[in-house]
Amino acid sequence: MFFLRSDAINGFERLVYQLGVNPQMLLQRVGLSSAQLRNPNGYLSYQKVAELLELASQECNEPLFGFHLANAQTSLVIGDLALSMAQQPTLLEALRYAQKYLFLHANGLFIELEAGKDLARIGLQFNFDDASSLQQLAQLSLGQVFNVVRDALQYGEKAIRIAVRQVSHGNVMRDEPSAYQGQIVFGAEADCVTFPVSWLDKKPYSDSIAVKEHLQRHIRMLEARYPNNLQDQVRALIFNLLPSGECCLDSVAKNLDMHIRVLQNKLQEQGMTFSRLLREVRHSVALQHLRYKTLNITELALNLGYAEVSVFSRNFKSWEGKSPRQWLRDNTN
């Protein structure tokens, strides 16, 4: 099964209400609930999200529902991935970073980057092929790619174009969302976003205010989910940061708005250390993925923040007394 971070459809309920439909009814019809949307770092079935967006488009009589939803968002709906992309030296490196770590946000979507003579092209490829239900999902994803490029450079958005295979229905179409007005090309051969190739060498813009707001939101979410439980808050942050390869004491402390020394002392008072929590989370995540065969061993090592598979294998053997491959043979069919 393929998963998507719930923050990817941030604003869904508000938009549906604005279009005169009850969002609770739509969520229930596809087997989802409002509670699942409250945790921005929770995961939803990609297929259910695709079904939900198609249903919303039909019930709201809005053929461009996915674009309208993306129009109400910023690039921060892709979470910590957006913050890490903003730290890369060029837009090209930022997009390559996104290609490598997109599974943090969406497990089942791949982006293809091509640089031509005049234009750069970002194409989308879904890892499931129910073509009848991907139209709105493609709109949402293309709009989010547009937002990422726009927010990364803070200028020239009129030079960004969105190509979509969906055919325009003329008068049936409502007005295009403001951010994409006149920049959507319908009836294209592929779903993609294009922009001047020279932009690839530009330094991404980092919005310090947006970053601060994002971190504060993250802290509030952790405090609400794990009130007065620092260890669980740290575990949740480790889980989210591991695949980026940037999971360290400093990163976790910054996310909790604490000085490193303060965090260390608070954990020590509880008889715990950061390194032990890191080891526990890695062990737990490794067993979960091996048990359900969701990632191969190389992908799993990267997902756990290891630069080399051999290091992961040595650590796993110290936890379980056998290598990951041996554990797979002994514990799965």
> pLDDT, tens digit, for every residue of 23-33?
999 999 999 88
For 172-184, what is the mean pLDDT?
76
- Whether the per-residue pLDDT at 178 is higher than 70: the answer is yes
Q: Which tokens go with 220? A: 């509030």
pLDDT the model gives residue 303: 82
Q: How far apart are CA 313 and CA 325, in angstroms?
A: 9
pLDDT the model gives residue 172: 44
Q: How far apart are CA 259 and CA 256, in angstroms?
A: 9
For the ranges 82-86, 137-141, 248-252, the maximum mean pLDDT occurs at 137-141
pLDDT the model gives residue 211: 64
Q: How far apart are CA 13 and CA 23, in angstroms?
A: 5
Q: How far apart are CA 307 and CA 52, in angstroms?
A: 38
Q: Which residue has the higher pLDDT, 3 or 56?
A: 56
Q: Which residue has the higher pLDDT, 169 or 158?
A: 158
Give which of 317, 255, 246, 251 is closest to 283, Cα–Cα.
317
- Whether the per-residue pLDDT at 96 is higher than 50: the answer is yes
Which whole-number Å values give the CA distances from 235 to 13, 161, 221, 226, 280, in the listed order? Answer: 30, 41, 14, 10, 9
pLDDT the model gives residue 207: 66
Determine the residue type at 268: Q
Contact 108, 176 (CB under 8 A): no
Q: How far apart are CA 328 and CA 333, in angstroms?
A: 8
Q: What is the pLDDT of residues 259-304, one digit of tens each?
A: 999 999 999 999 999 999 999 999 998 998 888 777 789 888 888 8
For 207-225, what is the mean pLDDT?
69
Contacts of 80 (CB under 8 A, 6+ apart): 104, 240, 241, 244
Confidence of residue 129 (pLDDT cuts 50, 70, 90): low
- Whether the per-residue pLDDT at 51 is higher than 50: the answer is yes
- Whether the per-residue pLDDT at 223 is higher than 80: the answer is no
For 189-200, what is the mean pLDDT?
94
Pick the range with the lowest mean pLDDT from 28-32, 85-89, 139-143, 192-196.
85-89
For 203-219, what is the mean pLDDT?
71
Confidence of residue 182 (pLDDT cuts 50, 70, 90): confident
Contact 85, 152 (CB under 8 A): yes
Q: What is the pLDDT of residues 60-94, one digit of tens each?
A: 999 999 999 999 998 888 887 887 888 889 999 99
3-state secondary structure of 272: coil
Task: Specify the DSSP class assigned to residue 333.
Answer: -
Q: How far apart are CA 280 and CA 234, in angstroms?
A: 11
Which whole-number Å values give the CA distances from 206 to 81, 114, 203, 209, 291, in the listed order? Answer: 13, 24, 9, 9, 39
Q: How far apart are CA 265 and CA 132, in angstroms?
A: 55
Contact 33, 26 (CB under 8 A): no
Around 34, how many Cα atoms within 13 Å sit in the side-chain half-sphere? 8
For 111-125, what is the mean pLDDT?
94
Confidence of residue 254 (pLDDT cuts 50, 70, 90): confident
- Whether the per-residue pLDDT at 219 is higher than 80: the answer is no
Contacts of 181 (CB under 8 A, 6+ apart): 175
Contacts of 77 (CB under 8 A, 6+ apart): 7, 8, 10, 144
Give which of 210, 276, 243, 208 is closest to 105, Cα–Cα.
243
**Which pairs from 47-51 meet CB under 8 Å and 24+ separation?**
47/1, 47/2, 47/128, 47/130, 47/133, 49/4, 49/8, 49/9, 49/137, 50/130, 50/133, 50/134, 50/136, 50/137, 51/133
pLDDT the model gives residue 105: 82
For 243-259, what is the mean pLDDT?
84
